[in-house]
């Protein structure tokens, strides 16, 4: 994440919903994250912000640039959480506990984020390249080394750091991306669904640790 971007985010955090630029970004997040780039309408964003369509272009010049502002902010919220947890000094087991609890808590507050990010990455593979060149991009090296080491010591069953990471992310993120499908398959009300997600915050760590402990 460039310094320019960080400054911009700090500014937006301070002025959120008070000045026009902040109102636009809030409205744009709301619309883009639920309808995607293609489904979103500039008119709808303007209406939600309570201002005129021309203002969107005055502040962000084009739909594409406004979209990128929303996307970059979303990604810069999701990714650093991975980084801080995966690269601290605690054990593999503690990392799994902390990560699952924190990540599920975070996504519960922003349930549209993961679907939005993944949808737009699938839509436009060029975004992927931009992300890689980001200096705050999460690194898994430390986590992988820890897993390998614990396997060698006989503390963990044979598993690669890659597969374990995929499993952790899948178990945390998919229930939100797949919520409409899960609700309909399990015949859950919104309240039931929320309770199930709340239970997962602690259950999931046990599920994962049980499966890998030697």
Partner DNA sequence: GTCTATAGCCAGATAGAC
Partner DNA sequence: GTCTATCTGGCTATAGAC
Q: Which of a copy of itself, DNA, none is residue 42 near (CB under 5 to 8 Å by kind)?
A: DNA
3-state secondary structure of 135: coil
Name the segment binding DNA (CB under 7 A); options: 52-60, 87-95, 101-109, 119-127: 52-60
Tokens 């309770």 -> residue: 195
Interface with DNA (CB under 7 A), residue from 25, 28, 40, 96:
40
Structure-block tokens of residue 111: 């349930």
Tokens 């400054």 -> residue: 7
Tokens 């990604």 -> residue: 75
Q: Does 135 bind a copy of itself (CB under 8 A)?
A: no
Helix H, strand E, coil C: the string for 149-170 is: HHHHHCCECCCCHHHHHHHHHH
Q: CA separation (Å) from 29 to 71, 142, 151, 152?
A: 8, 33, 43, 46
Write out the binding residues for a copy of itself, residues 54-83 only, by CB under 8 A: 82
The residues of the shown chain that bind a copy of itself, judged by CB under 8 A, are 34-39, 82, 115, 117-119, 121-123, 125, 128, 131-132, 138, 140, 157, 159, 162-163, 165-167, 169-171, 173-175, 177-178, 180-186, 188, 196, 199-200, 203-204, 207-208, 210-212
The residues of the shown chain that bind DNA, judged by CB under 7 A, are 20, 40-43, 51-55, 57-58, 61-64
């Amino acid at each position: 994440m460039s310094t320019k971007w960080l400054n911009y985010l700090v500014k937006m955090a301070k002025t959120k919903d008070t000045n026009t630029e902040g109102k636009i970004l809030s409205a744009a997040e709301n619309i883009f994250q639920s309808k995607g780039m293609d489904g979103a309408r500039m008119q709808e964003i303007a209406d939600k912000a309570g201002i005129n369509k021309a203002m969107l272009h005055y502040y962000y010049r084009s739909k594409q640039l406004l979209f990128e502002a929303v996307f970059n902010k979303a990604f810069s919220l999701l990714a650093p959480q991975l980084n801080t947890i995966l690269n601290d000094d605690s054990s593999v087991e503690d990392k799994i506990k902390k990560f699952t609890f924190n990540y599920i808590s975070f996504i519960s507050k922003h349930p549209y984020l993961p679907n939005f990010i993944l949808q737009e990455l699938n839509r436009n593979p060029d975004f992927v390249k931009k992300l890689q060149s980001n200096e705050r991009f999460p690194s898994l090296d430390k986590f992988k080394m820890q897993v390998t080491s614990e396997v060698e010591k006989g503390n963990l069953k044979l598993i690669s750091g890659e597969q374990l990471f995929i499993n952790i992310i899948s178990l945390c993120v998919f229930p939100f991306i797949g919520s409409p499908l899960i609700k309909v398959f399990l015949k859950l009300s919104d309240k039931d669904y929320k309770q199930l997600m709340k239970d997962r915050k602690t259950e999931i760590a046990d599920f994962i640790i049980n499966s890998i402990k030697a």
